Structure 1
Amino acid sequence: MRVVALIPAHNEEETIDIAIDSLRSQSRPPDRIVVVADNCTDRTVEYAVAKGVEVFPTTGNTHKKGGALNQALARELPGLDDEDGVFVMDADSSLDDGFFESAIALLSRPRPGRHAADQGTRTAHAGRYGGIGGTFRGRDGGGFVGWLQRNEYARYARDVRRRGGRVLVLTGTATLFRVRALRDVHEARLDGRLPGVGYVYDTQVLTEDNELTFALLHLGYRIRSPKHCTLTTEVMPTWGDLYRQRLRWKRGALENCLQYGLTRHTFEYWFRQLWTGLGVVVIVAYLLSIVWALAVEGGVVLHPLWLAITVLFAVERVVTVRSRGALAMVVASVVFVEMTFDLFLQGVHGKAVLDSVTQRERAW
């Protein structure tokens, strides 16, 4: 298996060296590293050239990351074999050692005996792994909001490990794709079996990685994030940056569900959307009960139901950040700290739903 690593980069001079070094230090590094320089106005290209890697500048791209990768893939895929791999990695990420070795070993597995493709989307390669993604930790920095994101990422990684590597999304931070799978996506878009516009990535969606995951699943490919495929990535440094990022993620995921409809591949995604909505209702009811108690009853009465919910919430918050150490567990035990972040995320989810329903103009 030959592997070409693509690093889409828009003004990433501060982190591009770290990303390239983490690729080269792998026990099985990629055969080629290509920095996809998208409308860069800083020294990203200069630093990449100094590192001795290839640079592919985009031409007239107005479709952000998805458009940049489509241009690079249109150049690279014709020269690769079906069993080769394309690795896509964000320029602000850094791989842990062993990522490539683990991902290639899993991607090279033969197709299982039971055919996994749907009728009407059957391909000769369906049932095999189409993409192997990573789980990530948050990089240092960002103060309090950065701390909360690192806790969130630790919980996500724990959940993936407990699910045996089953994930809902192949993360854009680092994923190894089978070339045949990417070709199948391109061909399926052309003949109408898949929605979307673009060579491989759909350039009309907010969350191109989530949509590409849907596309692979609907073509019968499998996805995984094995325990040895880990990395670190950037956290949002301010509440404003985090708000804009998560609004795009949540609205994009919701619109991807609407785009594909309710199928056996999207059922769990729809369920999670509804579960998040239920969480918003529960939290609002919880807070309103406190406000009612203080305003009408003159004090908070420790009702057994809400007390039990509070205790369960606190225990779950502590246990799920155990990988981050004792200090993180102590901070997580303070219910108010973690609930602040959850309220923020649920508020963003509500805004995403409202924007989708009202068809508010979308922004990156």
Structure 2
Amino acid sequence: MTSNEILIAREPGEVHVVTNVPASRSAQLPDSRPFHQRMIDAGQQAAARALNLPAQASNLTSTDRDDDVIRHARIACIIPAYNEQDSIADVLESLLSQTRLPDVIHVVVNNTDDDTVEIASRYVGKHRRAVKGQTYETTIHVHDMGVNPDKKVGALNFGFRLARGYDYFLGVDGDTTADRRAIEWLEKEIVDDPRIGGISAIYSIDKSKIEGGMAKFLVAGQRAQFAGFNMDNLLRGRNMAVLGGQFSIFSMQALQTVMIRDHQHTPWVRDSEVEDSKLSLQIRDAGFSTKISSRARAYVGAMTNLRALHGQQVKWNYGAIDLMWPGQRGDTKGQPLHPNLRLRWFENFSMVSNIATRMAFLLLLAAALSIDAFVFNPIWLIPPAIAVLLNLRLAMAMHDKSASDVAFAFLLPAEIYMWVRIGHFLSAWTQFFARVEKDNWAAQAAAEKGRGAAYIFPLVVFAAVFGLLILAWTQQSVGVQAAILSLGWPVLYICTVVQTLFMARKVFRRQRGFTV
């Protein structure tokens, strides 16, 4: 082994030889000029050489000559990790297999009580990869923050300080892997348009390692949920409502602008349940756009049981409500009618409509059957048929669709999962209106560890409400019951027609070749 080589142990018993960068190069600090300015300066240098002008004529230093110019942006990758011993190795392997390596990778471990630090430390050091004649090098660092009261937000802000001097901040969750060209595509898209403040990958879930009937059902539902959200954003000019922290790249200039504009010491703030949604709003307010990639793909960690899924979804829903509700956040310009919140409002109105029509149908059906007044009309088969067509079209638009995705699109699985989502939705709104002081981050972490029974709450409430309404129905006279049915069915009919028309519009809208 030569003097300019070091040994990096990546797995027990496995040693890789990695060539070091010469000391004179590795000791240099990152150029502090913005990436676009460096590209302009490089072009000026080339023009100066073409005219046989001295190097000084282009106002560039000697380190900017053609053989030293780095012609790609500098990307710092930050991985906030909390109890990720089962996934952190896959995440780092995914990053090291990219066609475009990040320039540096910082694993920021916080509040962990498992072996995340030990597993990630196997990858510490320099790694080099050659792709199509271009050699990329990255260095992996692992930081153990210990007890961090700000949790993921604290880890992200710590990583932001480490990323100063780089052009872009790539945030990757500790359970998220990516397609091998994901960073390449994200870099091309954000560098191509300096108006973009952040761009997110297309999210889905890798189902290849999922086992068990319940887990497969829930993952199929989550994949369909991600697909619908991604398609809605892609068809709205690729304007992303939320730059999810799972795998998104941010312009450091945009993050610094947010800090100055909003009088913050850090880009992410700890007073929001959904730190990524809050930052997305601020980036838009600062004059930058927030986009979703048309090609880059990432696969997030799945919630494989009802308890864990409930914890995650309630946190997401509650955080969105906190941003949307008037008067909650006076620091959000235009809130609650902010452009990034319009899709959120539509999702909530759509969920209210789904709850109302389903509950009304069940109650009216039970009431009609109780007095032998139900007459079946085939017209009620149209709405579920349109729903199945919509689900099928979305399943066929999935990039990695399988038979399980197509099977889920049919009525029964999709309908059951819709009721699961209704439970999350009602739990979040109940918590919000009750002004319950609850740490939803901690609740989700506990749920993922198998603790807590909050996921049963929606079922108990539904059974109690349904039972009380049926009891009240039985106390009414025949005349009152007939009046309720004669009024209730037409109202439900009108609401269902409107809802069906919205679904039909989605069925027939052009998807412009996008896949999710």
TM-score by length of 1: 0.86
Cα distance in 2 for residues equivalent to 1:48 and 1:147:
30
Residue 190 in structure 1 maps to residue 190 in structure 2:
no
Deviation track 1:11-32 (CA, whole Å, cap 9, x = no partner) reads: 1111111111111111111000
State how many pairs are aligned. 336
Question: Of 180, 205, 208, which aligns to 2:275?
Answer: 208
Cα distance in 2 for residues equivalent to 1:313 and 1:69:
40
Q: CA deviation at 1:160?
A: 4.0
Q: CA deviation at 1:41?
A: 2.1
Residue 275 in structure 1 maps to residue 275 in structure 2:
no
Deviation track 1:16-60 (CA, whole Å, cap 9, x = no partner) reads: 111111111111110001000112222211221211220122254
2:157 aligns with 70
Amino acid at match of 2:178: L
1:340 aligns with 416
Amino acid at match of 1:224: K
How does 1:220-231 map onto structure 2 within 5 Å? 220-231=287-298
Cα distance in 2 for residues equivalent to 1:287 and 1:63:
44
Residue 48 in structure 1 maps to residue 123 in structure 2:
no
Cα distance in 2 for residues equivalent to 1:291 and 1:309:
20
CA contact (8 A) 2:110 2:147 kept: no
Distance 1:182 1:298, change over 3 A: same
Distance 1:300 1:88, change over 3 A: farther
Percent of aligned pairs with the same residue?
24
Distance 1:326 1:15, change over 3 A: closer
CA contact (8 A) 1:133 1:225 kept: yes
Alignment gaps of 5+ in structure 1: 112-127, 192-197
CA contact (8 A) 2:239 2:289 kept: no
How does 1:224-303 map onto structure 2 within 5 Å? 224-258=291-325, 259=329, 260=332, 261-265=335-339, 266-297=341-372, 301-302=376-377
Question: Of 316, 320, 328, which aligns to 2:394?
Answer: 320
Which of structures 1 and 2 has the larger relative contact order (alpha carbons within 8 angstroms, sep 6+)?
Answer: 1
Q: CA deviation at 1:222?
A: 0.4
Secondary structure at the aligned position of 2:298 is classed as strand
Distance 1:321 1:8, change over 3 A: same
Residue 37 in structure 1 maps to residue 109 in structure 2:
yes
CA contact (8 A) 1:155 1:321 kept: no
Residue 150 in structure 1 maps to residue 223 in structure 2:
yes
CA contact (8 A) 2:220 2:404 kept: no
TM-align CA RMSD = 2.0
Secondary structure at the aligned position of 2:320 is classed as helix
TM-score by length of 2: 0.62
Distance 1:284 1:75, change over 3 A: same
Amino acid at match of 1:135: I
Deviation track 1:214-256 (CA, whole Å, cap 9, x = no partner) reads: 1111111101112211011111011111111100000101101
1:330 aligns with 407
Q: CA deviation at 1:303?
A: 5.4
Distance 1:294 1:234, change over 3 A: farther
Q: CA deviation at 1:287?
A: 2.4
Residue 349 in structure 1 maps to residue 416 in structure 2:
no
Distance 1:225 1:267, change over 3 A: closer
CA contact (8 A) 1:131 1:176 kept: yes
Residue 103 in structure 1 maps to residue 167 in structure 2:
no
Residue 139 in structure 1 maps to residue 183 in structure 2:
no
Question: Of 30, 37, 61, which aligns to 2:148?
Answer: 61
CA contact (8 A) 1:7 1:36 kept: yes
Distance 1:270 1:330, change over 3 A: closer
Secondary structure at the aligned position of 1:26 is classed as coil
CA contact (8 A) 1:8 1:38 kept: yes
Cα distance in 2 for residues equivalent to 1:143 and 1:325:
12
Q: Which structure has the larger Rg?
A: 2
Distance 1:182 1:97, change over 3 A: same
Moved more, 266-275 or 165-174: 266-275
Distance 1:264 1:243, change over 3 A: closer
CA contact (8 A) 2:323 2:336 kept: no
